[in-house]
Amino acid sequence: MDFSEINARGLVLLGCGKMGSAMLAGWLSGGLAPGSVTVMDPAPSEWVRGTGVATNAPLPEAPAVVIIAVKPQMIGEALPAIRALGNGSTLFISVAAGTPIARFEELLGAQSPVIRAMPNTPAAVGRGITALIGNAQVDEAGLALGEGLLAAVGQTVRIEDEAQMDAVTAVSGSGPAYVFHLIEAMAAAGEAEGLSPDLALTLARATVAGAGALAETAGESPAQLRINVTSPKGTTEAALGVLMDGGRGFPPLLREAVAAAARRSRELGA
C-alpha cells in the first residue's frame, strides 16, 4: 500500500503485544518508515525497540492513524492518552475484541472516525482474516486505508452491520481454537489406534494445515473437496458417517459452539 500520508503525518500504535507486533512487522516490511511510528506500550519488547520506531514518546499533533491494540479490559485506562486526538482527521482503528464503536465514540468524541476490526491469531504468521466496519465518520478512503493496514496480516472483509461482529468473532475470531482442538483430538485418536504421540501429532497437524491450504486455493467448494476424497464404502465414508451425524456429529456440535461464542461476545459488548 501507499504509506506516503502516514509517513508524513505519523501512525500511533497503542499496545504492541503479539497482534500489534505482527501488524507493525508487516507495515515496516511494506515500506512504512520507522520514524513515522510511535508505539505506546508499558513494556515494549526488545524487537520493537530494535525497529527504530519511537516508544512512549510525545504523540504527533494529528497522526493519520491510531491503532488501538490493547486488551479490551484496558480500554478505559489506555484511551485517555490519545483522547486529545479525537474529533479530528485522525482515523482510529480498534482491534480490541468485544469493544463496540459506541464505546470509542464515548471516549474519543462522537465526530471521531472509528473502524472496528476483528482479526484472528493466524495474523501472527500473515495468514489471518480481519472483518471491519466503520462508523458514520469513516468515508470510503478511510475504509480503504484501514483495509490496507490490516492486509499486512492477512485477508480483510467488510461487514454491513456492527451486530454481525459477534458472529464474526464466533466463527473466525475464536475459530482458530476450534481447529487447534481438532488437531489435539485427531492426534489423541491416532494414539488410541496405536500411533506414537509424536507421529500422531505430526500427522494431525500436517493434515489440517494441508487441507486448509487446499480448501483456500482450490476452485472447488469444501463440500466438493470432501466428496472428492470420499470413496464409496471406503474408510473416509465410514468416518464421515460418524462426523456428519445430524444428532451428535460436527454440524450440531459446531452450531452449538458458535452460538455459545456469539452469545458470549454479545454479553461482553453490552
Domain boundaries, the chain: 4-165, 175-269
Residue 87's pLDDT is what? 96
Q: Who's near 113: CB < 8 A, 6+ residues apart?
A: 89, 90, 91, 92, 134, 135, 137, 138, 139, 142
Which CATH code, of 3.30.70.360, 3.40.50.720, 1.10.10.10, 3.90.25.10, is assigned to 4-165? 3.40.50.720
What is the rounded CA–CA span in Å between residue 160 and residue 143? 12
Contact 38, 11 (CB under 8 A): yes
At the topology level, CATH places domain 175-269 in ProC C-terminal domain-like fold (1.10.3730)
> What pTM did the predictor assign?
0.91
114-118 sheet: strands from edge to edge: 54-55, 37-40, 11-14, 65-68, 91-94, 114-118, 128-134, 154-158
Terminal C-alpha separation, the chain? 35
Contact 114, 139 (CB under 8 A): no
Instruction: State the average pLDDT for the chain.
Output: 95
Residue 206's pLDDT is what? 98
Contact 78, 15 (CB under 8 A): yes
Residue 266's pLDDT is what? 87
Tens-digit pLDDT profile for residues 102-137? 999 999 999 999 999 999 999 989 999 999 999 999
Residue 98's pLDDT is what? 85
How far CA 23 is from CA of 10, 18, 97, in Å, comes to: 15, 9, 16
Q: Which of 60, 65, 21 is nearest to 44 (CA)?
A: 21
What is the rounded CA–CA span in Å between residue 110 and residue 177? 35
How far CA 247 is from CA of 59, 179, 236, 250, 261, in Å, comes to: 56, 21, 19, 9, 20
